[in-house]
Amino acid sequence: MTVSKSTVLVLDSSDPEPLARFYATLLGGTVEPAAGDPDLLLVSSPTGIVLGIQRDLGQAPPSWPRPEDSQQAHLRILVAPDALDEAEREAITLGARPVAAELDGTRLDRRSAVRRCTDPAGHAFVIAAVPGVPAT
């Protein structure tokens, strides 16, 4: 018998409350403390838990997009193709910072179906246009 499992991506943050509120607002969700762990907040959307934010007083933002560094991991937020620009504006209004990434020395085309950003604590995320994702 396979044990039932669930997973959640957890981001470290020296100040988890504002970061959790950023993602809850961006994803249309809510923030709740994790049972039994006072340093972990869970961001839930109408479809379930989507992200954890954990207090780590020593957390330092990733250095991506420097060419010598890897982004290690990132969130991919999926939106309908016709909602990409609006979703990017919403994220930036909430405190996200757009990332001017380059590939092979060539600046990425703004008409791309992917917009690269960092959250207020410096974690990488992208907003990606995906056909079939319902528009709101």
Q: Which of the residues in the chain have pLDDT under 50?
A: 102-108
What global pTM score does this model have? 0.75
76 with 118, same domain: the answer is yes
The pLDDT score that the predictor gives to residue 34 is 87
53 with 30, same domain: the answer is yes
CA–chain centroid gap for 66, Å, is 19
46 with 87, same domain: the answer is no
The pLDDT score that the predictor gives to residue 80 is 87
**27-45: per-residue pLDDT in tens?**
999 999 988 888 999 999 8
The pLDDT score that the predictor gives to residue 110 is 53
Whose CA is closest to 101, among 129, 48, 75, 65? 65
83 with 122, same domain: the answer is yes
Whose CA is closest to 45, among 56, 32, 35? 32
Question: What are the two backbone dihedrals, phi and then psi, of residue 39, each rounded to the nearest 5 degrees?
Answer: -100, 5
134 with 70, same domain: the answer is yes
126 with 69, same domain: the answer is yes
What CATH number is associated with residue 52? 3.30.720.120
65 with 132, same domain: the answer is yes
Boundary-marking domain end, from 58, 75, 94: 58
- Which amino acid, 1? M
49 with 36, same domain: the answer is yes
Domain residue limits at 65:
61-136
**What is the 3 state secondary structure string of the chain?**
CCCCCCCCCEEEECCHHHHHHHHHHHHCCEEEEECCEEEEEEEEECCEEEEEEEECCCCCCCCCCCCCCCCCCCEEEEECHHHHHHHHHHHHHHCCEECCCEECCEECCCCCCEEEEECCCCCEEEEEECCCCCCC
Number of domains present in the structure of the chain: 2
69 with 135, same domain: the answer is yes
